[in-house]
Amino acid sequence: MRPPYPHPLIAREGWPFILGGAVIALLIAALAGWSWSIPFWIGVAFVLQFFRDPPREVPDDPRAVVSPADGRIVAVEKARDPWLERDALKISVFMNVFNVHSNRAPVDGSVRQRWYHPGAFLNAALDKASEANERNALWLRTADGQDVTCVQIAGLIARRILCSVNAGDALERGQRFGFIRFGSRVDLYLPTDAVVDCALGEKVYAAQSTLARLADHG
Protein backbone atom coordinates (compact mmCIF):
# COMPACT_ATOMS: atom_id res chain seq x y z
CA MET A 1 0.00 0.00 0.00
CA ARG A 2 1.15 3.53 -0.69
CA PRO A 3 1.47 5.69 2.42
CA PRO A 4 -1.44 8.09 3.07
CA TYR A 5 -1.05 11.25 1.03
CA PRO A 6 -0.04 14.29 3.10
CA HIS A 7 -3.01 16.61 3.48
CA PRO A 8 -4.71 18.37 6.40
CA LEU A 9 -7.67 16.59 7.99
CA ILE A 10 -9.88 19.55 7.05
CA ALA A 11 -9.92 20.68 3.41
CA ARG A 12 -8.59 24.18 2.87
CA GLU A 13 -11.79 25.09 0.97
CA GLY A 14 -13.75 24.74 4.19
CA TRP A 15 -11.89 27.10 6.49
CA PRO A 16 -13.66 30.32 5.38
CA PHE A 17 -17.03 28.66 6.09
CA ILE A 18 -15.91 27.12 9.39
CA LEU A 19 -14.26 30.28 10.73
CA GLY A 20 -17.09 32.50 9.49
CA GLY A 21 -19.68 30.29 11.17
CA ALA A 22 -17.69 30.20 14.40
CA VAL A 23 -17.43 34.01 14.46
CA ILE A 24 -21.19 34.34 13.96
CA ALA A 25 -21.88 31.78 16.70
CA LEU A 26 -19.56 33.61 19.11
CA LEU A 27 -21.25 36.95 18.35
CA ILE A 28 -24.68 35.45 18.97
CA ALA A 29 -23.43 33.95 22.23
CA ALA A 30 -21.97 37.29 23.34
CA LEU A 31 -25.06 39.32 22.41
CA ALA A 32 -27.90 36.93 23.23
CA GLY A 33 -26.44 34.14 25.35
CA TRP A 34 -25.04 30.70 24.71
CA SER A 35 -28.45 29.01 24.43
CA TRP A 36 -29.31 31.17 21.41
CA SER A 37 -26.02 30.28 19.75
CA ILE A 38 -26.56 26.50 19.91
CA PRO A 39 -28.17 26.22 16.42
CA PHE A 40 -25.24 28.15 14.96
CA TRP A 41 -22.72 25.84 16.61
CA ILE A 42 -24.63 22.86 15.19
CA GLY A 43 -24.26 24.49 11.79
CA VAL A 44 -20.52 24.90 12.34
CA ALA A 45 -20.27 21.21 13.32
CA PHE A 46 -22.11 20.21 10.13
CA VAL A 47 -19.80 22.30 7.94
CA LEU A 48 -16.77 20.93 9.80
CA GLN A 49 -17.76 17.33 9.06
CA PHE A 50 -18.56 18.17 5.45
CA PHE A 51 -15.08 19.56 4.78
CA ARG A 52 -13.17 16.75 6.50
CA ASP A 53 -10.43 15.36 4.27
CA PRO A 54 -8.95 12.22 5.87
CA PRO A 55 -5.76 10.58 4.58
CA ARG A 56 -6.23 7.36 2.64
CA GLU A 57 -4.07 4.38 1.70
CA VAL A 58 -3.97 3.83 -2.06
CA PRO A 59 -3.77 0.28 -3.51
CA ASP A 60 -0.40 -0.61 -5.02
CA ASP A 61 -1.96 -2.43 -7.99
CA PRO A 62 -0.83 -0.37 -11.04
CA ARG A 63 -3.95 -1.44 -12.99
CA ALA A 64 -6.37 -0.38 -10.24
CA VAL A 65 -8.87 2.40 -10.96
CA VAL A 66 -9.65 3.85 -7.55
CA SER A 67 -12.79 5.71 -6.61
CA PRO A 68 -12.55 9.46 -7.24
CA ALA A 69 -15.00 10.17 -4.42
CA ASP A 70 -16.66 8.84 -1.28
CA GLY A 71 -20.25 7.71 -1.74
CA ARG A 72 -22.24 4.90 -3.31
CA ILE A 73 -22.19 3.42 -6.79
CA VAL A 74 -25.26 4.53 -8.77
CA ALA A 75 -24.24 3.40 -12.28
CA VAL A 76 -22.14 0.62 -13.81
CA GLU A 77 -22.94 0.42 -17.50
CA LYS A 78 -21.77 0.64 -21.06
CA ALA A 79 -22.19 4.22 -22.29
CA ARG A 80 -21.00 6.80 -24.75
CA ASP A 81 -18.24 9.04 -23.41
CA PRO A 82 -19.49 12.49 -24.51
CA TRP A 83 -16.10 14.08 -23.95
CA LEU A 84 -13.89 11.75 -26.01
CA GLU A 85 -16.67 10.54 -28.36
CA ARG A 86 -16.06 6.84 -27.73
CA ASP A 87 -17.78 3.78 -26.34
CA ALA A 88 -16.85 3.34 -22.70
CA LEU A 89 -17.55 1.67 -19.40
CA LYS A 90 -19.25 4.22 -17.14
CA ILE A 91 -19.08 4.05 -13.34
CA SER A 92 -20.77 6.79 -11.28
CA VAL A 93 -20.37 7.63 -7.59
CA PHE A 94 -23.04 9.70 -5.82
CA MET A 95 -22.02 11.77 -2.78
CA ASN A 96 -24.60 12.90 -0.23
CA VAL A 97 -24.03 15.82 2.14
CA PHE A 98 -22.52 13.53 4.78
CA ASN A 99 -19.80 12.08 2.54
CA VAL A 100 -16.26 13.42 2.20
CA HIS A 101 -16.33 15.63 -0.90
CA SER A 102 -12.62 15.80 -1.71
CA ASN A 103 -12.02 14.35 -5.19
CA ARG A 104 -9.02 12.12 -5.98
CA ALA A 105 -7.39 10.96 -9.22
CA PRO A 106 -8.62 7.50 -10.26
CA VAL A 107 -5.42 6.53 -12.11
CA ASP A 108 -1.80 7.53 -12.60
CA GLY A 109 -1.75 9.73 -15.67
CA SER A 110 -1.30 13.07 -17.34
CA VAL A 111 -4.11 15.58 -17.81
CA ARG A 112 -4.57 15.89 -21.57
CA GLN A 113 -7.49 18.30 -21.44
CA ARG A 114 -9.99 19.89 -19.09
CA TRP A 115 -13.53 21.01 -19.94
CA TYR A 116 -16.00 23.02 -17.87
CA HIS A 117 -19.70 23.41 -18.67
CA PRO A 118 -22.25 25.43 -16.69
CA GLY A 119 -25.63 23.81 -16.27
CA ALA A 120 -28.56 22.98 -14.03
CA PHE A 121 -28.54 21.67 -10.45
CA LEU A 122 -30.68 18.52 -10.60
CA ASN A 123 -30.45 15.74 -8.05
CA ALA A 124 -27.01 14.26 -8.76
CA ALA A 125 -28.34 10.72 -8.21
CA LEU A 126 -30.39 11.00 -11.42
CA ASP A 127 -28.92 9.69 -14.68
CA LYS A 128 -29.75 12.91 -16.54
CA ALA A 129 -27.53 14.88 -14.16
CA SER A 130 -24.54 13.64 -16.21
CA GLU A 131 -25.77 15.69 -19.19
CA ALA A 132 -27.77 18.52 -17.61
CA ASN A 133 -25.87 19.65 -14.53
CA GLU A 134 -22.86 21.92 -14.08
CA ARG A 135 -19.80 19.75 -14.66
CA ASN A 136 -16.03 19.72 -14.98
CA ALA A 137 -14.28 16.96 -16.91
CA LEU A 138 -10.67 15.78 -16.97
CA TRP A 139 -9.20 13.64 -19.74
CA LEU A 140 -6.45 11.51 -18.18
CA ARG A 141 -4.03 9.34 -20.15
CA THR A 142 -2.01 6.59 -18.48
CA ALA A 143 1.61 5.78 -19.27
CA ASP A 144 0.53 2.90 -21.55
CA GLY A 145 -1.84 5.14 -23.51
CA GLN A 146 -5.22 4.30 -21.94
CA ASP A 147 -7.76 7.10 -21.63
CA VAL A 148 -9.89 7.77 -18.56
CA THR A 149 -12.42 10.59 -18.31
CA CYS A 150 -13.25 11.84 -14.81
CA VAL A 151 -16.24 14.18 -14.53
CA GLN A 152 -17.17 16.24 -11.47
CA ILE A 153 -20.92 17.00 -11.48
CA ALA A 154 -22.73 19.50 -9.26
CA GLY A 155 -25.88 18.36 -7.47
CA LEU A 156 -29.16 19.70 -6.13
CA ILE A 157 -27.45 21.60 -3.30
CA ALA A 158 -23.91 21.83 -4.68
CA ARG A 159 -23.17 25.19 -6.25
CA ARG A 160 -19.42 25.14 -6.71
CA ILE A 161 -17.07 22.74 -8.45
CA LEU A 162 -13.40 23.25 -7.62
CA CYS A 163 -10.57 21.77 -9.70
CA SER A 164 -6.89 22.49 -9.07
CA VAL A 165 -5.33 20.89 -12.15
CA ASN A 166 -5.13 21.75 -15.85
CA ALA A 167 -3.90 20.26 -19.12
CA GLY A 168 -0.26 19.22 -18.84
CA ASP A 169 -0.37 18.37 -15.14
CA ALA A 170 0.49 14.86 -13.91
CA LEU A 171 -1.59 13.03 -11.31
CA GLU A 172 -0.97 9.96 -9.19
CA ARG A 173 -3.76 7.59 -8.14
CA GLY A 174 -5.38 8.94 -5.01
CA GLN A 175 -3.93 12.43 -5.43
CA ARG A 176 -6.34 15.19 -4.52
CA PHE A 177 -7.39 17.29 -7.53
CA GLY A 178 -10.67 18.97 -6.58
CA PHE A 179 -13.68 19.43 -4.37
CA ILE A 180 -17.46 19.80 -4.84
CA ARG A 181 -19.45 21.62 -2.19
CA PHE A 182 -22.56 20.08 -0.63
CA GLY A 183 -23.78 17.01 -2.49
CA SER A 184 -22.71 15.87 -5.95
CA ARG A 185 -21.55 13.08 -8.25
CA VAL A 186 -18.46 11.91 -10.14
CA ASP A 187 -18.64 9.92 -13.39
CA LEU A 188 -15.79 7.80 -14.72
CA TYR A 189 -15.56 6.73 -18.37
CA LEU A 190 -13.11 3.83 -18.80
CA PRO A 191 -11.92 1.74 -21.75
CA THR A 192 -14.45 -0.96 -22.63
CA ASP A 193 -11.97 -3.74 -21.77
CA ALA A 194 -11.63 -2.56 -18.14
CA VAL A 195 -12.75 -5.17 -15.60
CA VAL A 196 -15.40 -3.95 -13.13
CA ASP A 197 -14.61 -4.48 -9.44
CA CYS A 198 -17.64 -2.83 -7.80
CA ALA A 199 -21.42 -3.21 -7.71
CA LEU A 200 -24.50 -0.99 -7.78
CA GLY A 201 -25.30 0.38 -4.35
CA GLU A 202 -21.85 -0.39 -2.96
CA LYS A 203 -20.35 2.15 -0.58
CA VAL A 204 -16.92 3.28 -1.74
CA TYR A 205 -14.14 5.51 -0.46
CA ALA A 206 -12.03 7.93 -2.50
CA ALA A 207 -8.47 6.78 -3.30
CA GLN A 208 -9.00 3.57 -1.32
CA SER A 209 -11.74 1.54 -3.03
CA THR A 210 -10.96 -0.15 -6.35
CA LEU A 211 -13.78 0.35 -8.87
CA ALA A 212 -12.20 -1.44 -11.84
CA ARG A 213 -8.93 -2.67 -13.29
CA LEU A 214 -7.50 -1.55 -16.60
CA ALA A 215 -6.41 -4.18 -19.08
CA ASP A 216 -2.68 -4.80 -19.39
CA HIS A 217 -1.64 -3.33 -22.73
CA GLY A 218 2.04 -3.94 -22.04
Catalytic residues: 184
Query: Residue 166: left if φ>0, alpha if ψ -120 to 50, beta else—which one?
Result: beta
Q: Give the strands of the sheet with 71-81, arranged side by side.
A: 170-171, 109-117, 135-141, 147-154, 184-190, 86-95, 71-81, 203-204
Element spanning 90, H or E: strand 86-95
Q: Please provide the distance, in angstroms rounded to a whole number, between the alpha carbons at the two ends of the chain.
A: 22
Strand-pairing partners, residue 127, are none
DSSP state of 200: T
CA atoms within 13 Å, Cβ hemisphere of 200: 6
